[in-house]
Every structure is written in structure tokens, then in C-alpha cells.
Structure 1
């Protein structure tokens, strides 16, 4: 592997370091315990479509910026209505399931290894408050955690990646963006960051025209590439 001259690593969080669908799926099961697997997946899809659509509307300027706290509550209300649940407390608990996301099996150990060599920056579309809860629940180790809320937009808007560039104090080409979503890495490339695709079951795989700097099966594999390659 050609040596990458990087000074810090920037990580996507949702889907890359934590299993977002698993956390929301657990919240749906708590909301409606009688649902079978098909019913749970149908409601999970309803949640995901709402979040994706509304974040895109913000990016397109159709809707003013709203934090993920608002969007999660909207999604929870839609899911609860579809499940026939009207209890406001149950809806609020479901919305908070977006913060109770389990880490992937290699996440915590992988971050610990990489933190011995590099400053680690989390960069998430999750709100500041949600990101705090996600980090605490999953045991994520950061030197800095940044929310797209500070840019009042969502990835892949260049302004979000600019947060990491500003905080690091380094040129963008000295930062490595790590994500399980090819769309996220394309956005990072657009502002000059180096890129590493990490495969996850819920990610967005690269297409043949993508030219990311690194590819790894998981965080353990990425740590091997970076730490062995930089000896």
C-alpha cells in the first residue's frame, strides 16, 4: 500500500461505527412487541425513508434546517401511527432509540488502536445532543466529535466536511475521511479529503467509477492498513 500522509482521521458515525438500523429496530419492537419480523422491517423502512427524504429536502432548500432530533420525532410519530400506538411517552421513547445504537463488533477496539497514532474526529449528521447520546451508549472514543448541526445542513454538503478541516487546522488533503457510504466519501472528496471505504452490512458500496484511497472490510482491517503502512 502506498503511504498516506495524513494527520487526522475523520469518521462518519451512523452506519459506519454504529448499527443504526439495529437500534431503531429494537425501539420498534419495544413500541409494538406483537409485530412479526416483516412488520418490524416495514416500519423500519418507513422511518428510514422519512429521514432520507427530509434531509434531502433540507439540502435542496425546500425545507429549513431542522436537527435530527426533530426528524427522529417525526419519524417516530409516523411509525407509531402505522403501528396503531397513540401513547406520547411511547412515541418519545421510540424517537430516542436513534441514540441507542450498538457499535459494530470491531468499532471500539479499532478506534482505540487508531487513537494511539492519529487524532480521531467524529463527523455526523446527528445533532449535538443525539451525538452525545450515541457516543456514550456505544462507547465511542474521540478526540473531537462534530455535528452537522454546527453547519446547519447535512452531509454531503461541503460545509459539513469543512467543520473537520477547520477544527483540525490542517489542509483537507491531510485528513482521511472514513465511511461505509460511498455518497459520503464522494462528498468528502469534493472538498479535498482523502477517503477510506469501510464495508458494513448497512452501507452504500462504491461503484466502479469511485476512486477511494483505501478499502477495508471493517475497522480492524483499516487499522491494519494504516498502522502497518505507516511504520
Structure 2
């Protein structure tokens, strides 16, 4: 195994440490209790498609930057329209479901274990306010939590990863970016960070062309590998 000289670990949050689709599904179920599981999944797909499309438009310079709070409210309106719900209070409540996301079963214990050896930095596309509530709801432990809002763009823009580099005061090659999304790790690699892929049911798996430093089935496995690689 390649020796890793790591001074801090940087974690993606949405999908990597919390089950984002589960939280949104719960919000949709509250919005439209009569929907069956396929109907909820269809509305979840509308939400995800809106967020992905609008973040891409911002990254491409087609749309000025807006926070994730704005995008979540837009997505909630799209979903509510499709469900035939017109109550603005119900739409606003659905928009907040993106802040009430359950952690994966190994997240809290895994972060605690890693925090004994490394400074931990959360790096999320969620807004500052959303990230604060999300961290509190899921019980995530950080030494520093950074929002892409600080860079007024979204991952995988290099400016977002630079936030972690600047805060850590370390060269990019001394930071390990951990994510369940290959696209996120590729973005971090572009700035010179080391990378670790953690498999999650909702992630974006690596392709044969990807060359990430570590691959793990969960945070316990990641901690074990870091112990051997350090």
C-alpha cells in the first residue's frame, strides 16, 4: 500500500455521511401521505434532477450563484406542483427536509474514531445555515465545517476544495478527501488532494479510469486502511 502522509481528513457530507435521499423521501411522504413508494421515488427524482441541473448551470456560468437553500426551495416547489400541493407552508417545510438527513449507521462512530487521530473538516455544497442544522440533526463531529457558500460556487469547482486547503494551512497533498462520489474525488484530485472512496448505496462509484488512493466499504474500513498507510 502506498504510504500516505496525511495531516487532516476532509469529508463530503451529502451522501457520504448522511443518507440524503432518505431524508427527502421522508419530507415528500409528509407532503403527500397518500403516495405509494414508486410515486415518492418519482418525486425524489424530480428533486434531484432540479438540484443537479441548477448547480451545473451555476458552475457553467449560465446562472448567478444562489445558495443551496434557494435551490432546495425551488426543488420543493417542483415536487409540490407535481404532487398537486399548493400550500406554501407545506412547500417551505418540504424544502427544510434537506436539513433533516439521517446519518449512515457507521458515520457517528467512524468520525469519532478518526477524530482521535486527525483534524476533521466537513466540506459540503450545503449552505452555512443548512450545514449547521444538518450537522446537529445527524450528530456529526467536526473540528471545522466548511460550506461551498464561502466560495460562492459548488463542488467540483476547485475554489471549494481550496477552502479546506486554506483553513488547514497544509499543502493539498497532505489532505485526504473522502467521498462516496467519484466526481467529487476527481475535483479534489484536480487541486492535488489525496483521495479515498467510501462506498454508499447512493454514491457515484469509480470507473476503471479513476485512480483514488484508498477504497473502503465504510468508515471503519477507512480508519483501518489509514492506520496501515500512515
Q: TM-score, normalised by structure 1?
A: 0.99
Partner of 1:58: 58
Aligned mates of 1:88, 1:127 — CA distance in 2: 22
Cα distance in 1 for partners of 2:182, 2:158 equals: 15
Q: How many residues align?
A: 230
Q: 1:226: how far off?
A: 1.0
> What is the CA deviation profile of residues 186-229 of structure 1, one whole-angstrom value per residue up to 9, with x for unaligned ones?
00000000000000000000000100000000111101111244
Per-residue CA deviation, residues 156-187 of structure 1 (Å, 9 max, x unaligned), is 00000000000000000000000000000000
Partner of 1:224: 224
| Residues 105-120 of structure 1 aligned to structure 2 (within 5 Å) | 105-120=105-120
Q: What is the aligned partner in structure 1 of residue 194 from structure 2? A: 194
Which residue of structure 2 aligns with residue 20 of structure 1?
20
The CA deviation at 1:113 is: 0.2
Q: In structure 2, what is the Cα distance between the partners aligned to 1:24 and 1:201?
A: 15
Aligned to 2:66, what secondary structure does the other structure show? Answer: coil
1:178 paired to 2:194? no
Q: 1:80 aligns to what?
A: 80
Other-structure match for 1:91 = 91
Q: Report the 3-state secondary structure (helix = DSSP H, G, I; strand = E; otherwise coil) of the residue aligned with 1:173.
A: helix
Which blocks of at least 5 consecutive residues in structure 1 are unaligned? none
SS at structure 2 position matched to 1:122: strand
Deviations 1:66-116 (A, max 9, x none): 000000000000101110111111101100000000000000000000000
Query: 1:113-152 maps to which residues of 2 (within 5 A)?
Result: 113-152=113-152
Q: Deviations over 1:39-72 (max 9, x none)?
A: 0000000000000000000000000000000000
Match of 2:212 in 1: 212
Q: Which position in structure 2 is the counterpart of 1:44?
A: 44
SS at match of 2:170: coil
C-alpha contact (below 8 Å) 1:161/1:191 kept by paired residues: yes
Alpha-carbon distance in 2 for matches of 1:210, 1:219: 20
Point out where structure 2 has 5 or more consecutive residues left out of the alignment.
none
Please report how far the alpha carbon of residue 126 of structure 1 lies from its aligned counterpart in structure 2 after TM superposition. 0.3
